Amino acid sequence: TGSALADTAKVSAAVTRIKGHTALPVCVGFGVKTAEQARVIGASADGVVVGTAIVNAVANVLGPKGEKTADPAEAVATLVSGLAQGVRSARLAAAE
């Protein structure tokens, strides 16, 4: 995972290449922050890995002294729900 989204065309090509060499699931995490990014990555990969965006979701609800300004669990749940919807939409489009 990281903070910058990689070129999705290159990621898709790499996933296709890797899948040609293994039956194992191929998961990708390259700065995925939005549902749209998760949809694009999820169209070729078996899974989408998110790390930094979740850390940032928690950090965004903490004040300067680490006090909660909102519920961190709710912030993470909202982010993950959107990301999951992006992946689901990729799966539905692939099934059509």
Give the tens place of pLDDT for each residue, 17-42: 999 999 999 999 878 899 999 999 99
End-to-end alpha carbon distance in the chain: 30
Q: What's the number of domains the chain is made of?
A: 1
CA 45/CA 26 separation, integer angstroms = 6
Instruction: Render pLDDT for 59-89 as a digit per residue (tens, 0 to 9).
Output: 999 999 999 999 999 999 999 999 999 999 9
Amino acid letter, residue 45: A
Which run of H or of E encompasses 29?
A: none
Instruction: Render pLDDT for 36-64 as a digit per residue (tens, 0 to 9).
Output: 999 999 999 999 999 999 999 999 999 99
In a domain, 1, yes or no: no
Residue 58 structural domain: 8-95
In a domain, 71, yes or no: yes
Residue 3: both structure tokens together = 């903070």
β-pair type (47-48, 27-28): parallel
pTM of the model: 0.81
Residue 39: both structure tokens together = 């949809």
In a domain, 76, yes or no: yes
In a domain, 22, yes or no: yes
